DNA sequence: TTTGGGAAAGTAATATTATAACGATAAGCG
DNA sequence: CGCTTATCGTTATAATATTACTTTCCCAAA
């Protein structure tokens, strides 16, 4: 169990981040731009807008919600439009799909080659990509017991985030 | 890395199992029957048939494929029919949904309360539920670093099973 | 044995998520 | 500039899943 002080610290971190979320978006966009330039890929207006919408919150974005929002700022938008952009962004590692929600989220570490592992709050929907590669090596171990070679991983942990625990569940430490 | 002998042993285990798969089905059905009886739930003909079809192979079963097959052995089958049976079976822990495939698979350890963790072969589709609870405790650790409380886990590892590695990928040990 | 209440299944319609096919446009390149 | 190809627009349709309402069936109490 974590100490109360640590718990409070985490909550503060989280609140501070929420105040500065525009930084996340800017960072994500400039990284994407750089990354596409390096690969000789075109980071078009459409792709930029979709990535921007995906990053609008730290929550999973549904394709048809993106479609609706996008329609309000651009004409001739169909499902294909959104899915094509999402495919492009996923191929470049800029966006992950959350399989258990049929939703999409911006990658917070697009400079490394990885499968996303996520913590998803069932109360507030906030989603966090785990930055820890220990998980992958643990899973490798488990797979090796069966002589199985992993190519990609879907890891989505549903539960309560640090802010929602006092409201909806057991708190970490009273 | 595992030794060649171990690799061969795994392959033999696997082949033997394929010859005796009817045992899996029978076991699954009788467990389900017992389990429902204990809970005071009705294990109806429909539910039994759906569970039987889910268990027909060690592969993920798609809802609309179940629907088609079921239609051939019973009349008045609609999507609702299948989804209701699947919901029932999931609630009782007899079936898991594979989120990354939109498909369903029989639980191989319905007597324990757990989230399924899966190895899924991308070559032959064979799927295996990992029986190892180490994984859960590892994931708990990772979540604790973020003061996150896990309620449920989606863990789906895609790759190559022991039989398909020589055909499609690097072998474990030449 | 009858009968009433609730669970299960039937039925129809619709919502949600995703892809296919093909033509029009625009960016990059020699 | 004209060529090539990636991108995007447009339309249609496939695949997955749920809602709402009705009918049937089981079981247990009277
Ligand atoms: Zn990522
Ligand atoms: Zn939360
Ligand atoms: Zn299971
Ligand atoms: Zn295989």
> Who's near A167: CB < 8 A, 6+ residues apart?
A123
- What value does the mean pLDDT of chain A take? 91
d(CA A164, CA A152): 31
Q: Which nucleotides of D are covered by protein (CB under 7 A)?
A: 6-13, 15-20, 26-27
Is residue A155 within 8 Å of A135, Cβ to Cβ?
A: yes
State the DSSP H helix or E strand holding residue B160, giving kind and residue range, or none if neither: strand B149-160
- What value does the mean pLDDT of chain B take? 91
Band of the pLDDT at A17, cuts 50, 70, 90?
confident
Please say if the pLDDT value at position A1 is more than 90.
no
Please say if the pLDDT value at position A131 is more than 70.
yes
Give the residue, A46 or A2, on which the prediction is more confident: A46
List the single best residue of B1, B137, B147 to mutate versus A (max A Cβ within 10 A).
Answer: B147
Residues 8-27 of A with CB under 8 A from B: 10
List CB contacts (< 8 A) between A160 and chain B: 148-149, 151
What is the DSSP annotation of A41-104?
----HHHHHHHHHHTTSSS-B-HHHHHHHHHTTSSS--HHHHHHHHHHHHHTTSEEEETTTTEE
- Quick: pLDDT tens for A52-105: 999 999 999 999 999 999 999 999 999 999 999 999 999 999 999 999 999 999
Chain A nearest-CA residue for B133: A142
Please identify which residue in the block is written with the tokens 């399924």: B116
State the DSSP H helix or E strand holding residue B34, giving kind and residue range, or none if neither: helix B21-39
Q: Assess B161–A contact: CB distance below 8 Å, yes or no.
A: yes
> Which tokens belong to A139?
């899973």
Please say if the pLDDT value at position A173 is more than 60.
no
Of A142, A144, A156, the CB nearest to B134: A142
Q: Minimal Cα–Cα distance from A37 to chain B, Å?
A: 30
- Three-state DSSP at B92 gives coil
- Three-state DSSP at A143 gives helix
d(CA B89, CA B85): 6
Radius of gyration of chain A (CA): 18
- Quick: pLDDT tens for B131-155: 877 999 999 999 999 999 999 999 9
Asked whether residue A83's C-beta has any atom of DNA/RNA strand C within 7 A, the reply is yes
Q: Assess A165–B contact: CB distance below 8 Å, yes or no.
A: yes
Is residue A149 within 8 Å of B173, Cβ to Cβ?
A: no
Q: Assess A31–B contact: CB distance below 8 Å, yes or no.
A: no
Q: How far is CA A132 from CA A59, A136, B119, in A?
A: 20, 8, 21
Residue A8: the pLDDT is: 78
Interchain contact, A154 vs B99, CB within 8 Å: yes
Q: Are strands A149-160 and B95-98 parallel, antiparallel or unpaired?
A: unpaired
Band of the pLDDT at A4, cuts 50, 70, 90?
low
CA A151 to centroid of ligand 4, rounded, Å = 13
Domains of chain A: 4-168 (1.10.10.10)
Band of the pLDDT at B171, cuts 50, 70, 90?
very low
């Amino acid at each position: 169990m974590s100490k109360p002080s640590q718990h409070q610290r985490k909550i503060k971190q989280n609140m501070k981040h929420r105040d500065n979320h525009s930084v996340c978006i800017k960072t994500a966009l400039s990284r994407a731009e750089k990354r596409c330039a390096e690969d000789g890929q075109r980071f078009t207006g459409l792709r930029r807008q979709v990535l921007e919408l995906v990053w609008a919150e730290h929550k999973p974005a549904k394709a048809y919600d993106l479609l609706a929002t996008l329609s309000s700022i651009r004409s001739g938008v169909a499902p294909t439009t959104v899915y094509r952009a999402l495919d492009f962004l996923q191929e470049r590692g800029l966006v992950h799909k959350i399989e258990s929600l049929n939703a999409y989220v911006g990658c917070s570490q697009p400079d490394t080659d990885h499968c996303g592992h996520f913590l998803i709050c069932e109360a507030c929907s906030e989603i966090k990509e785990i930055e820890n590669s220990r998980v992958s090596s643990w899973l490798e171990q488990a797979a090796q017991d069966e002589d199985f070679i992993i190519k990609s991983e879907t890891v989505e942990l549903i539960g309560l985030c640090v802010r929602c625990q006092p409201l909806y569940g057991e708190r970490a430490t009273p």
